[in-house]
Chain A
Amino acid sequence: MYAEVLTQVLTQVAAVVAFLLVVSVAAFVGRERLVATVREWRPRVRASAPAFAVLLVVLWLNRVMRQAGPGISERIGVHMTETFYDLEGEFVLVFQSIATGELTAYFSFIYVYGYAFLLIFPGIAYFALSDTRAFRRLLTAYSLNYVIGLAFYLLVIAYGPRNVMPEELTVTMLYDNSPEYQHLTREVNRNTNVFPSLHTSLAATVGIFAYETRSSYPKWFPIAVVLAVSVALSTMYLGIHWAIDVVAGLALAVGSVWLSNVLVGRRSIAELRRDVARRLPDRDDRE
């Protein structure tokens, strides 16, 4: 019974996002690259396998922590709801003053569908590039976002504005207007994990990458920026995050992107291995 609801929502989201992806791939990636990808997919997969594996581990770790996290948080976590509320005051309520039915619909759409699309499309787009570095960097940045985010989830226990000020946010609250999405989000997160906003950090990550790869995908860059900004705003408009969380998310994005640059070399591990293998016989000869 429970799984029914979840699959219902998931199917709905998957369908819409799939549609968006198809349209975007056609619009931005281009036929040439697609053809090349079909040809070269195997070495590319080999090249990016480690980064992909790490991301899978991180995602799975996240899932495990969703169960075990609260117990650990209880011991080591710091309650920060009131601190955030004291620091920030009622800033997020500024969105309530401009709220309209259309804006709510837009931001709700962005928060679920726009976000999913924003995360998946660059994966496809960068895999379609012959140089796998961007793809590997993207995956690495995703992993870093999750891992660092997870650490903060364990250390900081805080509830978002919708839990603290429900009466002021009734107009825009996502789970009041579209309660079915709560089934989706509770699969991936808990209501005490508002700091930092992973929605914002991952969206901003994509945005930064869009900037860095704007030579390869010039038309994607402005779209990505608009989407990323919308995602960040939607988290506050819908009363899910404090502005502090969003700022932290941005910082996390910048940090993850920069780290991914440091960690991911110009050559993939597979290529490095081949290099090493090629050089070894030389050494043998010398000895």
Chain B
Amino acid sequence: MFLDATLPHLDVVWQVARRTAAEGQDPEDLVQETYLRAYAGFESYRGGNTRAWLAAICLNVARSQARRRRRRPREVPGLALLEALPWDRADGGDGAADVANVVMAGLDAEAVSGCLGLLPEPQRVCVVLMDVAGYSAREAAHALGCPRGTVLARVHRGRRRLAQLLAEAGVSHGQP
């Protein structure tokens, strides 16, 4: 019952976990912990949007584990510091390559990952939920417990800042 309801959403949980796992934290461990927490709370779960419910759990687990590790997201704007950053790892696997061919030839996924890490957390989380994991604004709002309009505003600001950071980093977009 629980697995039937939740495992179909493994892909979106994975996308969220990959981008929200703290440094040094294995995203696969985060996914597993998310499902275990979800299982523990499944009896009290009243139904509704399972995808949003799983995202909320994943974000909470990631935050609590990050706090435990006493790490904070970096907020270091500016090209000079940008270049000095160690980029998050992004393998650019087959699936990512397919998307790249469609939307933006030549864009460096590692650069995107690094620039995404520079966004303020509220914007970054909204971009991850909507653009990486594919949640709707309504689902993201449910997961984050905030109004849909807030999510739309944050994701818009996050996308713009991401595009500006990529432009500063000299990443070619392949599109005018």
Chains A and B bind each other:
no
| A→B interface (CB under 8 Å) | none
